[in-house]
Amino acid sequence: MITSEAGVLAFFDAGTRDEAERAIYKSTECGAWLKFSRDGVSVGSIVEGSGAEAGPIWLGYADGFTKDDLQLAIDEIESVADVLWIEANVDEGDEV
């Protein structure tokens, strides 16, 4: 159960917030971002080529969350960002 920043850093095999933020950006096709606060983390992504944003999805330390919860949040952001990117950048009838 992740109940602190240390758990999030361990998930990304990171020693600092900056390393975790870089890890999520580099490991996702959508260039997801991670924002830390005292009470938890938010995961989201800015969708290139549009004014849209996927997320954020909030995961709070008080209730705790699992590694699977964090991975599901990342996967959801990737999925939403993909749909939003297609809507903004692919003309109807074009192949993706």
Strand order in the sheet with 40-46: 33-37, 40-46, 53-60
Instruction: Please give the pLDDT value at position 9.
Output: 98
Instruction: Please give the pLDDT value at position 90.
Output: 80
In three-state secondary structure terms, 9 is: helix
Please tell me the distance from the alpha carbon of residue 34 to that of residue 56, in angstroms, as a whole number: 9
Q: Are 41 and 34 in contact (CB under 8 A)?
A: yes
Residues forming beta bridges with residue 40, ordered by sequence position: 37, 60
The dihedral region occupied by 44, where left means phi > 0, alpha psi between -120 and 50, and beta the remainder, is beta
Whether the per-residue pLDDT at 93 is higher than 70: the answer is no
Whether the per-residue pLDDT at 96 is higher than 70: the answer is no
Task: Compute, in degrees rounded to 10, the torsion defined by CA atoms 17, 22, 24, 28.
Answer: 170
Tens of pLDDT, residue by residue over 12-65, are 999 999 999 999 999 999 999 999 999 999 999 999 878 899 999 999 999 999
Q: Spell out the domain ranges in the chain.
A: 5-89
Q: What predicted TM-score, i.e. pTM, was given to this entire model?
A: 0.91
Question: Once rounded to an integer, what is the mean pLDDT over residues 71-96?
Answer: 87
